[in-house]
Chain A
Amino acid sequence: MGQSFPPLFPPQASTVAVEVDALYALLVAITAFFTILVAGLFLFFGLRYRRKLESERPIQVHPPAWLEIAWSVIPLLICVVLFVWGVQLYFKIYTPPKDAVTIHVVGKRWMWKIQHMSGAREINELHVPVGVPIRLLLTSEDTIHAFSLPAFRIKRDAIPGTMTTTWFNATKVGSYHIFCAEYCGTKHSGMIGTVHVMEKDAYQRWLAGPNAGLPPAVQGAKLFEELNCISCHRAGATQRGPVLEGVFGTTVDLRGGGKVVADDAYIRESIVNPTAKIVNGYEPLMPVYLGQLSEEQVNALLTYVRDTLGKAERPKDAPPLPGTAPAAGSSPRASESKGR
């Protein structure tokens, strides 16, 4: 910061920031050009054709049709360029790369609770390594919040009852602002924090430090047993729900038609509100966990299903993957994708 005073740009500290700033520069140029052109012409005509006699009756000018067409089509073409670039950039900002490291972010009035996969937890602080893509999974325990990282040019709403995603790859070591950008009540402007971008070895040292706790996948495994999820979701005599090994990332057939990709948002929904979407071939037997578990517990379970069960071998006696549930016949793509 602090190159010019007052500064005009926030620090440029992520891979997408450069492109966002380039698009911004283009938009500023377009705005300046048309403002100066139109307001300038307005002033110029206003002075050039200033009324000299009260009795003046100027000859009426009749506009040629090509002029109307020209000033409709040229702005349209500019809009097409902006639209395409904007859409392309939007997908870039909101589509995390496959190898991104996941961090859970939970908004709660008026703090940000961060859960790392290593088990480290933080409040209003986020430590990340430089040059590593980080995927943020966001939700809220109360009102809508928005996780805003201006130095990375990203922002995403944290909405109760659902899970949203964004990601970044930090390019510059340093400390940058975190804001809550969606108004959430009295201490909205106090719901701020700092993201610390660290060299990789410094980050490793930080991870090993006093913040280390039980990794969420391990917490999730414990919960999976404590809540007795295991009795219905394990292959065997008591199995009444889908077996979860290898499910994550596959396409699931739903009762009554329709398909859904078993992504984070779907798994989360299946935990808190399982009857919303029933896998084909199963009965709606599972209790609703909405309000029974904290968002952090849900995140731990989700991590367990995604990272541990998702990569696990499917047991021999398990039925085929949900995508290939009995009624639907066998779908080679779904089972092959997990390489059994």
Chain B
Amino acid sequence: MSTPNHTASTHSEEENYLTNETTIQSWLLTKDHKRIALLYLISVTLFFTLGGLFASIVRLELLTPAGDLLSSEFYNQAFTSHGVMMVFFFLIPAVPAVLGNFLIPLMVGAKDLAFPKINLLSWYIFMVGATFAIFAVLTGGLDTGWTLYPPYSSTYSQSRVALAVAGVFIAGFASILTGVNFIATIHRMRAPGLTWFRLPLFVWAHYATSLVMVLGTPVIAITMVLLFLERVFGFGFFDPAKGGDPVLFQHLFWFYSHPAVYIMILPAMGVISEIISTFSRQKLFGYSFVAMSSLAIAILGFLVWGHHMFTTSQSAYTGILFSALTFLVAIPSAIKAFNWTATLYKGSVSWETPMLFAFGFMGLFLIGGLTGLFLATMGMDIHLQDTYFVVSHFHYIMVGGGVMGYMGGIHFWWPKITGRMYSNFWSKLSALLIFAGFNFTFFPQFILGYMGMPRRYHSYPEEWQVLNVMSTLGASILAIGYALPAFYLTYSLIRGKKAPANPWGATGLEWKTASPPPPHNFHETPIVTTEAYDYQSLPLSETPEKEGVHHG
């Protein structure tokens, strides 16, 4: 891609979005998508830390077979709080609301999102929802599991279900508004010359994600309203004693919550596409296949919810349909994995930190995706349903895939967001620790699951202790890996080297403007004349000069 604007890329003496205004008010009432992205970054980091603390509590309890560290009540609250925090307040918003918010206007060459005020509103709604949920968790707790199945959640649980349900309901609107904003921006605000098939794959992935957010989130909102009415006013939608059907809730819940998995993974896939292309200096192999596979995943994702219910009273013939459709989702995912790998072929591969995270993503996402086949296979799922095999599988996808992608994205665009470079050594160490710690934590859980260990168990038979101890040790390594960036990234803000406009030799429009970008992103509207990932026309002056290896 080319742009008339090369002057902005040199020194950061000029005004940038971080320093142009400094009052607290200028942050809390900002309409700048970049500042709103940072508000989201701080919030989701907080919720991730909270969710992580609950995970540590769970893993500590499971060191010994007996439920001796915590009471059953508190243990049940801990895994529920872990799930609710991580799913609704970290994984769903993380990549879209932080990286998507920051990058989509930059990538399409726009000054901001289509609706800047709605963007700010979405953050406030998100924070109100989160406040409800955290209040529920901290005062009396929530013990239903994040899946909130009735009749337990509606009738039997003694915990703060109504409050938490209200939190999830409210936070959903933030998601819908973000989705609408992205769709409008991608349709209406692309720079001259930036046709659909010149868009970076990150933008395609967010387009597909936004469709899921806009079409799926209303269903979880309706479901939460029904559950609220049932719990507070004694309606009988899901209560068999009143003629209701508890399995109906599962249909409604998974109609959203399965596509929600794609809200978590699709944007991360978009990040990985950018990183792999940049660090191998190849146009992404099969660009249009990868772009279309995102849409295929988004659409098919809506048609597979019944695979969560093979062991319920759902009809076997319904199950067959869901099983077949679930296998179909495997195909676009496989297409992505193969194309990413082929992109490296005859490329110029540089193992910088973001590329290490991308490699970690590949390893974990492959295992996560392939173990999904076990669960799509109906006869196999009966034995595995509701065991640690399922727990491990979705952690490989949502954490191994989703969080690896998020971490890779943070490290890739950190210089752009903050204008600073971070430590190479510590960031690579963090990537390695996360990869190793993750496998150490979750691989034993596949075996535990096949042995039959049910999920959400406070105590377990003694023969499973060795694997559980391994898992807890792995989690300790993982925790260190996740904690490290808090230190070296914060340190980079104070002492980090100033980042050039394009430190990695990447091609996207976001790299054509200064690091950090000026308040309105570009001084002149960029004009796009080439395809995405055109490394041939990347001027030599834009390749980073490091260690004097400038022989060309």
- Check if B466 sits within 8 Å of A5, measured CB to CB: yes
A243 to chain B, nearest CB (A): 27
With contact pairs A9-B450, A57-B535, A150-B452 given, residues A45 and B383 touching in the complex (Cβ less than 8 Å): no
CA distance A218 to B396 in the complex (A): 53
- Check if B546 sits within 8 Å of A39, measured CB to CB: no
A231 to chain B, nearest CB (A): 26
CA distance A232 to B434 in the complex (A): 70
Instruction: Identify the B interface with A (CB < 8 A).
Output: 67, 72-73, 76, 143-145, 147, 149, 151-152, 155-157, 240-241, 243-247, 280-283, 285-286, 289, 310-313, 316, 319-320, 323-324, 327-328, 330-331, 334-335, 337-342, 344-351, 355, 359, 362-363, 366-367, 370-371, 373-374, 376-383, 385-387, 444, 447, 450-452, 454-461, 463-464, 466-467, 505, 535-536, 538, 540, 543-546, 549-552
- Check if B347 sits within 8 Å of A189, measured CB to CB: no
CA distance A316 to B173 in the complex (A): 67
Task: Name which residue of chain A comes closest to B283, CB basis.
Answer: A60
Residues of chain B lying within 8 A (CB to CB) of residue A45: 280, 341, 344-345, 347, 349
Residues of chain A lying within 8 A (CB to CB) of residue B551: 53, 55
CA distance A5 to B447 in the complex (A): 12
Q: Which of B157, B324, B344, B350 contacts A83 (CB 8 A)?
A: B324
A93 to chain B, nearest CB (A): 6
Residues of chain A lying within 8 A (CB to CB) of residue B246: 144, 159-161
A337: interface (CB < 8 Å): no
Q: Which of A183, A290, A291 contacts B149 (CB 8 A)?
A: A183
B143 to chain A, nearest CB (A): 7
Task: Name which residue of chain B comes closest to A165, CB basis.
Answer: B313
Instruction: Provide a sorted-by-A list of 17 A–B residue pairs whose CB atoms are within 8 angstroms.
Output: A7-B451, A9-B450, A27-B377, A31-B367, A31-B373, A50-B349, A52-B348, A55-B540, A57-B281, A67-B342, A144-B312, A151-B452, A160-B151, A183-B145, A183-B152, A189-B457, A189-B458
Residues of chain B lying within 8 A (CB to CB) of residue A185: 76, 143, 152, 156-157
A1-47: which have CB < 8 Å to B? 1-2, 5-10, 19-20, 23-24, 27, 30-31, 34-35, 38-39, 41-43, 45-47
CA distance A273 to B239 in the complex (A): 14
CA distance A157 to B147 in the complex (A): 16
- Check if B379 sits within 8 Å of A23, measured CB to CB: yes
- Check if A162 sits within 8 Å of B313, measured CB to CB: yes
CA distance A91 to B151 in the complex (A): 28
Closest 8 CB pairs of A and B: A161-B240, A89-B379, A150-B452, A55-B552, A86-B377, A45-B344, A90-B378, A189-B457
Task: Name which residue of chain A comes closest to B379, CB basis.
Answer: A89
B401 to chain A, nearest CB (A): 13
A76: interface (CB < 8 Å): yes
Residues of chain A lying within 8 A (CB to CB) of residue B282: 58, 60-61
A187: interface (CB < 8 Å): yes
- Check if B535 sits within 8 Å of A188, measured CB to CB: no
A136-155: which have CB < 8 Å to B? 142-144, 146, 148, 150-151, 153-155
CA distance A150 to B467 in the complex (A): 17
Q: A50-B350, A67-B342, A160-B241 are in contact. List 15 more A-B contacts (CB 8 A).
A: A27-B377, A35-B363, A38-B341, A41-B341, A45-B347, A60-B536, A72-B334, A82-B376, A83-B377, A86-B376, A144-B152, A148-B387, A148-B454, A186-B143, A273-B243
Instruction: Count residues of A near B (Cβ-Cβ below 8 Å).
Output: 93
With contact pairs A68-B286, A75-B331, A155-B382 given, residues A43 and B359 touching in the complex (Cβ less than 8 Å): yes
Residues of chain A lying within 8 A (CB to CB) of residue B350: 50-51
Residues of chain B lying within 8 A (CB to CB) of residue A282: none
Residues of chain A lying within 8 A (CB to CB) of residue B363: 35, 39
With contact pairs A39-B366, A56-B348, A87-B379 given, residues A2 and B463 touching in the complex (Cβ less than 8 Å): yes
Residues of chain B lying within 8 A (CB to CB) of residue A51: 281, 348-350
CA distance A151 to B452 in the complex (A): 8
CA distance A195 to B96 in the complex (A): 49
B246 to chain A, nearest CB (A): 6
